[in-house]
Amino acid sequence: MRTYLVTGAAGFIGSNFLKYMLSKYDDIRIVVLDALTYAGNLGTIADDIDNERCIFIRGNICDHNLADRLFADYRFDYIVNFAAESHVDRSIENPQLFLQTNILGTQNLLDAARRAWVTGKNEKGYPTWRKNVRFHQVSTDEVYGSLGAEGFFTEETPLCPHSPYSASKASADMIVMAYHDTYQMPVTITRCSNNYGPYHFPEKLIPLIIKNILEGKRLPVYGDGSNVRDWLYVEDHCKAIDLVLHKGQDGGIYNVGGHNEKQNIEIVKLTIATIRRLMEEEPEYRKVLKKKELDEQGQIRIDWINDSLITFVKDRLGHDQRYAIDPTKIKEELGWYPETCFEEGIVKTIQWYLNNQEWVKTVTSGEYQNYYENMYKNR
Ligand code: NAD
Ligand code: DAU
């Protein structure tokens, strides 16, 4: 049985990855390490934790002693590091926390792995490593900076991050590669584009728009809405990580994206139209709406769910214009391709939110209310 340390698995992508791995493999054990910040929710993975195949440890990836203890207790074969401060807008407000978690947290895990996995030295003085172990860093396309109207990010594109978040992720990538180059540590990195899907925290564009529509609130679009993101359904990202972790080249960096570029304004309009269509087709969904005005047939009205909810607001500072991934390497080397097209993925995502309003309520009670107020009140 192989043992995985998966950090940040109470968050969006990490929880999807945990569920994917547990359902795909019978013969693995996963230890989740998560600090349960505002973005982590134990309820998301409560049904997965059985203290045999899946064990939960609440703790900080920056904690040196905890990391050593976990390595001693569980003898990990793989580490998949999702844990991070992940929201660009928050990084603009509080950069230091991003540097702390994303850079020093990653370095702390690398060092704990080094202490646990090094078996000796070779004749040139390089450490020798336990066989069949690997550290995988979950990174982002934002490390490459911003594109103009043309071109794509390849693995050779120079790192040119602009936000404190992306600068911290680029730094973490460089530290990971430094451990590979200096100590010959077995590592891989994936750099993925924007994910969407179940358990996405409603500070990010798509779940925020869904939540606001259901609550009859305005839909804040930064600037003129022309910024482009390259959207990938989260399960496709999980499949890519699984492949790279087990079959990727040692020291390999792989871009992950599905050639699904859309302007933010398009995403918002598509989300509005899809919610309205689902509610036309399935009137039961209308019960989720906060506004419960009835029409002449006694049905909850949905005619107000239209583009007039959109409000253009002050732009994000240093807002990257366009991200677009060239996924040729992972396709050709590992046979990965995105299995869920956007039209299908957005329907699955919206249906998940319509059916999981309790989850939304839980994760947005408390701190979220202050966050939303501060972030959007003067925009
Ligand atoms: P998220 O914010 O939803 O979840 C982050 C998780 O990490 C939470 O469970 C949180 O409690 C935990 N965490 C935060 N600080 C921690 C610490 N110091 N110690 C332990 N746990 C801590 O993030 P996400 O969107 O799921 O992103 C996961 C990873 O994927 C991140 O590294 C992010 O940079 C990367 N990524 C995200 C996207 C995207 O579109 N969301 C795309 C590409 C890459
Ligand atoms: O590209 C990968 C990155 O995608 C990940 O590394 C990050 O962790 C993840 O948060 C995401 O970053 P973005 O900044 O692209 O995602 P966000 O959902 O915050 O914003 C998407 C776009 O929508 C961006 O251009 C800003 C815009 N936006 C966002 C919000 C929250 C709005 O117009 N209005 C909003 O209210």
Q: Is residue 293 assigned to a domain?
A: no
pLDDT at 287: 97
Ligand 1, atom 15: nearest CA belongs to which residue? 84
Q: What separation in Å is there between the alpha carbon of 195 and the centre of ligand 2?
A: 10
Tokens of 154: 């390849």
Instruction: Enumerate residues lining ligand 1, CB below 6 A.
Output: 7-8, 10-14, 34-37, 39-40, 60-62, 82-86, 101, 105, 138, 140, 169, 192, 194-195, 201
Catalytic pick among 78, 165, 323, 353: 165
> What's the 37 CA to ligand 1 centre distance in angstroms?
10
Please report, for residues 173, 245, 368, the alpha-carbon distance to residue 137 in angstroms, rounded to integers and kept in the order given.
7, 9, 28
Q: Which residue stretches of the chain have pLDDT < 50?
A: none
Cα of 257 from ligand 1 centre, angstroms: 18
CATH number (domain holding residue 329): 3.40.50.720
C-alpha distances in Å from residue 335, one per residue of 190, 321, 328, 339: 15, 30, 10, 12
| 215 a catalytic residue | no
DSSP string, 291-351: ---B-TTSPBP-TT-SGGGEEEEPPPTT---B--B--HHHHHHH-----S-HHHHHHHHHH
Q: Is residue 82 part of a domain?
A: yes
Of 180, 95, 110, 170, residue with least CA distance to 140 = 170
Q: Does a structural domain hold residue 101?
A: yes
Helices 342-355, 205-214: inter-axial angle, 10-degree rounding: 50
Known active-site residue 165: yes
Inside any domain, residue 360: no
Can you give the pLDDT at residue 346? Answer: 98
In a domain, 89, yes or no: yes
User: Does 52 qualify as catalytic in the annotation?
Assistant: no
| 228-246 confidence digits (pLDDT tens) | 999 999 999 999 999 999 9
- Which tokens belong to 357? 């309003």
Q: Any idea which ligand is nearest the CA of 263?
A: 2
Q: Is residue 275 part of a domain?
A: no
Q: Give pLDDT tens digits for 88-136.
A: 999 999 999 999 999 999 999 999 999 999 999 999 999 999 999 999 9
Is 177 a member of any domain?
Answer: yes
Would you say residue 326 lies in a domain? yes
Domain that holds residue 101: 2-197+234-258+322-340
Ligand 1 atom 5, closest CA: 11
Per-residue confidence (pLDDT) for residue 378, from 0 to 100: 84
Query: What's the structural domain count of the chain?
Result: 1
